[in-house]
Amino acid sequence: MVTFELLDEPDSSITEPSTALRRQIQHLFGRSLHIRHVDAGSCNGCESEIKLLTSPYYDIHRLGIFFTTTPRHADLLLVTGAITRAMVDPLQRTYAAMPEPRLVVATGACACDGGIFGRSCLTLGRLSAILPVDTYIPGCPPTPLALIHGLLLTLGRAEQRLHRQILAHHADGKA
Amino acid sequence: MSILDWARQVRLLHPNEWEVVLTPANLTTTVEALCANPRNHFTDMFGVEMGGERQLRLLFALDSEHGWLHLVVPVTGDSPHYTSLVEVCPATLWYEREVAEECGIIPSGHPGPLHLRLPDDWPEGVYPHGGGFSWQDKIPAVAPHPVELASAPDGIVDYPLGPVRSGVVESGHYLLRTAGEELVDMRLQLFYKHRGIEKRAEGCSLLHLPLIAERISGTSAFAHSLALCEAVERAAGIEAPPRARYLRTLFAELERLYNHHGYQADLCQATGLVVGQAQFDVLKERLLRLNARLAGHRYLFGLNVPGGLSRDLTDTERQVIDEELRFQRRTFTVLEELLFRSNSHIDRLERTGTLPPELALAWGAVGPVGRAAGVDRDLRRDHPYAAYAELDFAVPLETDGDALARARLRLEEVRQSFRLIDQILGSLPSSAVRVPPEACMVRPGVSALGWVESPRGEGVHWLSFGEQRQARRYRVRTGSFANWQTFPAAVPGHNILTDFPVIEQSFGLSFAGADR
Amino acid sequence: MSVAVAAVALWTALGLCAAGALLCLLVPRRRLSIPVFVITTMAVGVLLIVSGAALLAGTPLPEFGIASPLPFGPLIVQPDRLGGFFLVIIGLVTAPIGLYSWDYLGGAPAFRYLRAFTVLWFVLLAALILIVTAADAVLLLMAWEVMAYLSYLLVTFEHDDAEIAHAAFLMLAVSEIGTFGIVAAFLLLAQAGGGFDFADLRAGAAQLSPGARDLVFVLALGGFGAKAGILPLQLWLPEAHPAAPSNLSALLSAVIIKLGIYGIIRVTFDLLGVGPGWWGLLLLLVGAITAVVGILFATVECDLKRILAYSSIENIGLICVGLGAALAFRSAALPTYAAIVMIAALYHVLNHATYKTLLFLGAGAVHRSTGTRDLGQLGGLVRLMPWTTLCFLVGALAIAAVPPFNGYVSEWMLLESLLRTSALPAVSARMVVVAGAAAIALTAGIAVTAFVRAVGTGFLGLPRTRAAAHATEVGHSMRAAMAFLAVACFLLGTLPTFILPVLNQVTTPLFGISVANAIVPPLFSGKAGAYQALVGLGGTLFRGLPVNGLVLIASPKFNTITAPSYLVLAELLLLALLLLVLRAIRPQGRRRRGPVWAGGIPTFRANMQYTPQAYANPIRLIFQGIFRSRVQYEPRELAAHYQVGRIVYQQTVPPPLEPELYRPLLGAVSWLVGRARVIQSGNVNQYIAYIFLLVLAILIIRAL
Ligand code: SF4
């Protein structure tokens, strides 16, 4: 039987925007979103897929989504990897260098809940431990289409298909 | 014959795998003698803790014997020492640091700092592979103690690059030193991504190990799981069925193909050749989709299992591969020609980032990086595994050592992969693709080596099992790790700041694989 | 009236110099001598400005002869308008230097030989005044030599450093070589004219054969050019000027080298009369090369004061280009153009005097508060020394010819007037003049690089050393002096229409034609043209001002118009507009200040900033043919490999022409001197024998 371990609630110090505010942010970024990607200890599988987003097959630019080199221009932080100890500080600096409002997306099983690494002596095991995560894109690695769906979901341009309640439901074995 | 006669207590562990036990005192002379033969290659060095006692282990590839030699040096005491081997074998530089940091076995006379791979806030004296704690234990942070770098001469700019660099790239830090244009010096700081894979594997069962191996470097997932599975199979004394061996070869080459396409795409991006990048990305994406169709995973995760493959290939799928390959061949030929006609691209590669062949050999460059600098080695030919011994392919070699040589070499390797896949499709034996799990049982306490020529160079996995048949020590030496060590040699000197992205991409190394 | 004013002011100034020297000699206490020094210097400066201005407005002073025991006739002081112009420059420079010296001389590190410095300073000032007011060659030469020796002494005696002693000695040596040329030129003229006063020399020039006149021209050019620092006689300048205390450096660079220009103008335009066309072209070419080489070396130099010294060479080059073009136009019987380009050159003399003084005083302030002049050790001063930085920035903008400051006006005029070459009859001459114009354009471009680099690496960013991090703002008097000059740069740049008619006064007697109307068109007159509306507007807006108009160079003689005064308005308007737009698009919400983004590393360190060497590197590589720089580089691959080792990297840029010209020359000279030592026995009898032989020789020559 497959069980889902649900994530802990994020640190109380990390505040999440209200629904109204989120709407406004989505409206702001809806047509033009700039992404700063940070690899916080991935296996390079996620990067490989993210890189392909700009390839002719997916061409994410057509959706008004771009990658930027500096966090100063970024609206969204796309984090991959299991959050290694050495990357915690650079990651937080990157987030701090971004202008507000800003979105955070955890990409891949590693960033979502640590993947096979989990919480270990060398990895934090989940992005939500240090940053307020807006969207989780699961998968190991998430395919380019999953990535696009996740990004559009963040922007309010696509519908969420799985919900926490349903997962919890399944986890409790009441399916 | 050779060193094998010379050393007395040589023990054959598995076919082509010997072991000799030494004392720290006669380690240097042994290594010196081994290095005197240019066909012996230092491959790995690591520390092992077994039931309270520590061992320093070195691994040499004996190309003329098609075998491997373990040098085992049991050490004792609280802070065991041995004489640094950097003088006699420069390639041991990073390995010695790693052993010192992670196992507490100290190389006396080592020329550099010992801190290498653990995070800067890791407490000193806590050795991940020195026993005493499990991967899940929380190790408290201390005040960061990064390596102190010597300052640059007057007028030189310290140009920091990373760990968060431009573009969608892995994390790593370069300190480039430039006098305005020309790069005069560089310092490399990797291991931001050290996830402790080897520590994580401790205590894992056979079922879980491939999952871990696949995540060493996601884009070489099949290669690493293959090396791991071969190690397990050797430890269990079995061999994968013929069809599995052929299919493994097939998938390994498919993996090489999409990696080499991705490599060319990245290189095109570095030189600003957008069309080339798009075209190679198309080839890569098509192969990933083929992977997904054949294996259910774009990066071939979950395909290798100890004892064979988790999945067979149907005849339709064979046809699909055949068709795709025809397309790939056609397009690739055209692209290659266009690439060489693009002066803007080729000019940026020529004489850029030259890795001097003598340094490449001395510092242990492997895989395409080594072969582009005249190091004529390929595990597929020199230490055949899977079905390579039965197939016909050439190992391309370049001697210039510059970015162009590295790019050309990989183009040629693509053609060889096409050849290999064609042969495999034409001569696929019919048998099961997996031995039953019950047959794949390791004896407690056994250890074995698995190796693979991954797209980025040779990966060597050493696995030792505990009493419950769980992994007790897992050691991975990736091609990227070996090649990163040689990378600083290619940067300072005749390159300018804007060459750096080209140099970096032309090496085509993986941070994840090196950091583990 | 103005004659009387001029005379009284001039003689009072000279008297004050004497009094100042005496007082400084007698007052033993530092605390008293500094005020004496400051007040006297400032008074002299103001008096000189008054006197010069009066001279420019009125007629030349009556001749004032001093009986002299020498067999050359009386020594004559009779300043004309040209002299008056240079008096203004001396005054304009000395007055703020005096003010600056209050804190500069009083601060630490103390001057060891303060008394000697102050006494000699006043003697030097008197010599400078006499040089530009003398109306006979003997007085001029005497004052000239006093100036040469005193500047040598003043540069050298604060230091024990052998290198500085060497630099000062080099300055003296080159100056003496130049004096030879000047003496020979004057002798040739005097022999033909029968006397040493300027009237005689003028008469003599008329009688000389063309070949002899050419010789006089070349000798005077070389002689005065050596002091001005034209190529290839510039080697001493970047060595000596930085070595001096900064108030003196300012005087050296802003005034003393300008006296070389004064000499060239005096001889070629005044005494020699109209000459062949190649004179002008030669001067122009020398000037163009000097300008380009000067600014190139300023761009790669790292010592702040040496940068300024090289840029002085550049500016002398620019002035020489103007003078050369004026000569060429005059030879081609185009006095209007000649006068215009001459005015441009004189304007540049004035401008360079102001901003170079400002910059040297700024460099002095930096040196005083950080103890270093090396750009590679500075940085971040904008927060610690905001006033000095602002003033230095104004000076840098002015010297880089950025409106609305003064360098822009004169360089633009120079360029603009050089482009009128089509008036010249000879095609070859046109090409040379156009080449000169191209050189000016190139120079102006590189000057921007040079001073962006100086300000950017020296004053902006993070402090590179502890010394720079602990800098404090300098005292009030130093700041006030710099601020005064900064304001002067602004006014000279925005109100050229006040200045140009005055300069026209200087050139009118030289060319016999007034070009005021050609440069500054009269209001509401002339044919209706596209720009007349603009002229009219200027006239309407500034109706109350006593000027012709605020539109500069808008006459049929010129292709384009430029109106610096309007530029100020335009710049202000644009700035306001920019602020408005920024305000309009400013995002709402709170502002966060964060650390510098450096790729996620914990700290951005000062050595991660671009260094001055790195900034200049492209220029150094492009012009490697001129620089001949050498790079010592030991990569030590293992350093990178082991992660900890150090590499060796050093660039050396030899001074211009040093390896090609000076090394061999110096070798030859020391060889010769070695031979000549034989005659120096130290034996008195032998020296008496020499004198005897010399007298004998003279008698024989006389008899022949
Ligand atoms: S989620 Fe999977 S593919 Fe992504 S980084 Fe983690 S292990 Fe690699």
Give residue B229 CA to ligand 1 midpoint distance, Å.
20
Do the chains contact at C614 and B154, CB–CB below 8 Å?
A: no
pLDDT value at C278 more than 80 = yes
When pLDDT is averaged across residues A93-120 and rounded to a whole number, the result is: 88
Q: Are strands C630-634 and C648-652 parallel, antiparallel or unpaired?
A: antiparallel
Numbered ranges of CATH 1.10.645.10 in chain B: 198-510
B48's enclosing H/E stretch is: strand B40-50
Q: Whose CA is nearest to atom 6 of ligand 1?
A: A110
Residue A144 token pair: 């380019």
Q: What does the alpha-carbon distance between residue C407 and residue C564 come to, in Å, rounded to a whole number?
A: 11
Do the chains contact at A121 and B199, CB–CB below 8 Å?
A: yes
> A51 or C540: whose pLDDT is higher?
A51
Q: What does the alpha-carbon distance between residue A104 and residue A38 come to, in Å, rounded to a whole number?
A: 11
Identify whether C135 is part of a domain. Answer: yes
Residue whose C-alpha is closest to residue A89's, from C602, C594, B119: C602
* pLDDT at residue C69 in the model: 65
Instruction: Please identify, by atom number, the ligand 1 atom nearest to the C-alpha of residue A80.
Output: 5
* pLDDT, tens only, B305-338: 888 888 888 888 889 999 999 999 999 999 999 8
How many domains does one find in chain C?
A: 4
DSSP structure class, residue C374: B
Please check whether residues C73 and C168 belong to one and the same domain: yes
Cβ B90 vs Cβ B109: under 8 Å: no
pLDDT value at C545 more than 60 = no
Cβ C343 vs Cβ C413: under 8 Å: yes
Residue C675 token pair: 């031979």
Min Cα–Cα distance to chain A from B228, Å? 17
Angle at B357 between CA B356 and CA B359, to 5 degrees: 70
* pLDDT, tens only, A3-22: 334 444 444 455 555 677 77
Cβ B502 vs Cβ B271: under 8 Å: yes
Identify whether C218 is part of a domain. Answer: no
Identify whether C553 is part of a domain. Answer: yes
Q: Give B316: exposed, middle or buried? Use CB within 10 Å, 0-12, 13-18, 19+.
A: exposed
Identify whether A123 is part of a domain. Answer: yes
Report the C-alpha dihedral over residues C144, C52, C405, C255, rounded to 10 degrees. Answer: 10
* Residues of chain B contacting residue A115, judged by C-beta atoms under 8 Å apart: 215
Please check whether residues C28 and C158 belong to one and the same domain: yes
* pLDDT at residue C446 in the model: 92
Q: Give C2: exposed, middle or buried? Use CB within 10 Å, 0-12, 13-18, 19+.
A: middle
Taking CA atoms, B192 is separated from A41, A121, B100, C641, in Å, by 7, 14, 19, 18
Map residue C316 onto helix, strand or coil. helix
Q: Which chains touch C (3 or more CB pairs under 8 A)?
A: A, B
* pLDDT, tens only, C64-90: 666 666 666 778 888 888 888 999 999
Q: What does the alpha-carbon distance between residue C647 and residue C351 come to, in Å, rounded to a whole number?
A: 45
The boundaries of the domain holding residue A102 are 29-174
* pLDDT, tens only, B42-78: 989 998 888 778 888 999 988 888 888 888 888 887 7
Q: What does the alpha-carbon distance between residue C600 and residue A90 come to, in Å, rounded to a whole number?
A: 4
Residue A92 token pair: 């937080």
Q: Give me the percent of chain C exceeding a pLDDT of 90.
A: 18
How many domains does one find in chain A?
A: 1
Cβ of residue A150 lying under 6 Å from some atom of ligand 1:
no
Map residue C121 onto helix, strand or coil. helix
pLDDT band per the 50, 70, 90 thresholds, residue C191: confident
CATH number of the domain encompassing residue A34: 3.40.50.12280
Helix and strand totals (H; E) in chain C: 29, 4
pLDDT value at C588 more than 90 = no
Cβ of residue A114 lying under 6 Å from some atom of ligand 1:
no
Cβ B222 vs Cβ B303: under 8 Å: yes
Please check whether residues C664 and C640 belong to one and the same domain: no
Residue C446 token pair: 């590189």
Q: What does the alpha-carbon distance between residue C614 and residue C620 come to, in Å, rounded to a whole number?
A: 10
C509's enclosing H/E stretch is: helix C496-511
Report the C-alpha dihedral over residues B102, B104, B107, B110, rounded to 10 degrees. Answer: 60
Q: Whose CA is nearest to atom 8 of ligand 1?
A: A43
Do the chains contact at A57 and B285, CB–CB below 8 Å?
A: yes
* pLDDT at residue C528 in the model: 47
Mutate to test the pocket of ligand 1, among A43, A47, A126 (most ligand atoms within 8 A of CB): A43
* pLDDT at residue C206 in the model: 82
* pLDDT at residue C67 in the model: 64
Cβ of residue A110 lying under 6 Å from some atom of ligand 1:
yes
DSSP characters for C144-180? HHHHHHHHHHHHHTT---HHHHHHHHHHHHHHHHHHH
Please check whether residues C681 and C630 belong to one and the same domain: no
Q: What does the alpha-carbon distance between residue C471 and residue C469 come to, in Å, rounded to a whole number?
A: 6
The minimal CB distance from A116 to the residues B167, B211, B278 is found for: B211
Q: Which CATH architecture has domain B3-108?
A: 2-Layer Sandwich (3.30)
> C65 or B205: whose pLDDT is higher?
B205
Residue of A nearest to C595 (CA): A97
Residue C226 token pair: 């050596």
Spatial neighbors of C687 by CB under 8 A, at least 6 apart, are none
CATH of domain B198-510: 1.10.645.10
Q: Give C68: exposed, middle or buried? Use CB within 10 Å, 0-12, 13-18, 19+.
A: middle
Identify whether A19 is part of a domain. Answer: no
Q: What does the alpha-carbon distance between residue C388 and residue B192 come to, in Å, rounded to a whole number?
A: 44
Report the C-alpha dihedral over residues C580, C586, C588, C590, rounded to 10 degrees. Answer: -110
* pLDDT at residue A5 in the model: 43
Q: How many CB atoms lie within 10 A of CB A20?
A: 8
pLDDT value at C552 more than 70 = no
* pLDDT, tens only, B151-173: 788 888 888 887 888 888 888 89
Report the C-alpha dihedral over residues C550, C554, C560, C561, rounded to 10 degrees. Answer: 10
Q: Which amino acid is at B322?
A: D
Residue C644 token pair: 């900890």
* pLDDT, tens only, C195-208: 788 888 888 888 88
Q: Are strands A76-80 and A33-39 parallel, antiparallel or unpaired?
A: parallel
Give residue C670 CA to ligand 1 midpoint distance, Å.
77
> C540 or C517: whose pLDDT is higher?
C517
C442-479 burial by CB neighbour count: b if 16+ within 10 A, else e? Answer: ebbebbbbbbbbbbbbbbbbbbbbeebeebebbbebbb
Angle at C513 between CA C510 and CA C515, to 5 degrees: 110
* pLDDT at residue C102 in the model: 86
Cβ of residue B215 lying under 6 Å from some atom of ligand 1:
yes
Mean pLDDT lowest for which of A117-131, C167-181, C377-391, C505-519?
A: C505-519
Do the chains contact at C610 and B157, CB–CB below 8 Å?
A: yes
pLDDT value at A83 more than 60 = yes
Q: Which amino acid is at A150?
A: G
* pLDDT, tens only, A145-155: 999 988 888 88
Angle at A54 between CA A50 and CA A60, to 5 degrees: 95
* pLDDT at residue C523 in the model: 44
Q: What does the alpha-carbon distance between residue B103 and residue C549 come to, in Å, rounded to a whole number?
A: 86
Q: For chain A, positions 153-172, list CB contacts with chain B under 8 A.
A: none
Map residue C61 onto helix, strand or coil. coil
Phi and psi torsions of A35, nearest 5°: -110, 135
Identify whether A157 is part of a domain. Answer: yes
* Residues, chain B: 516
The boundaries of the domain holding residue C531 are 516-583
Q: Whose CA is nearest to atom 3 of ligand 1?
A: A141
Mutate to test the pocket of ligand 1, among A46, A79, A87, A127 (most ligand atoms within 8 A of CB): A46
Spatial neighbors of C423 by CB under 8 A, at least 6 apart, are C329, C332, C334, C337
* pLDDT at residue C60 in the model: 60
Taking CA atoms, C483 is separated from C40, C56, C91, C100, C455, in Å, by 20, 26, 17, 10, 17
Cβ of residue A81 lying under 6 Å from some atom of ligand 1:
yes
Min Cα–Cα distance to chain B from C373, Å? 15
Does residue A128 belong to the interface with chain C, where contact is any CB pair within 8 Å? no
Q: For chain A, positions 64-93, list CB contacts with chain B under 8 A.
A: 67, 69-71, 81-82, 84-87, 90-91, 93
Q: Is the peptide bond between C546 and the residue preceding it cis, with omega within 30 degrees of 0?
A: no
pLDDT value at B3 more than 60 = no
When pLDDT is averaged across residues A77-91 and rounded to a whole number, the result is: 91
Q: What does the alpha-carbon distance between residue C282 and residue C320 come to, in Å, rounded to a whole number?
A: 10
Instruction: Please identify, by atom number, the ligand 1 atom nearest to the C-alpha of residue A141.
Output: 3
Q: What does the alpha-carbon distance between residue B367 and residue B378 come to, in Å, rounded to a whole number?
A: 7
Identify whether A164 is part of a domain. Answer: yes
Residue whose C-alpha is closest to residue C171's, from C255, C106, C236: C236
* pLDDT, tens only, C519-535: 665 443 444 454 455 55
- State the average pLDDT for chain C: 82
Q: Write down the pTM of the prediction.
A: 0.85
Q: Best interface-test mutation with A: which of B116, B171, B264 has the largest number of A CBs within 10 A?
A: B171
Cβ of residue A79 lying under 6 Å from some atom of ligand 1:
no
When pLDDT is averaged across residues C309-335 and rounded to a whole number, the result is: 90
Cβ A122 vs Cβ B119: under 8 Å: yes
The crossing angle, in degrees rounded to 10, of helices C386-399 and C406-418 is 10
pLDDT value at C361 more than 70 = yes
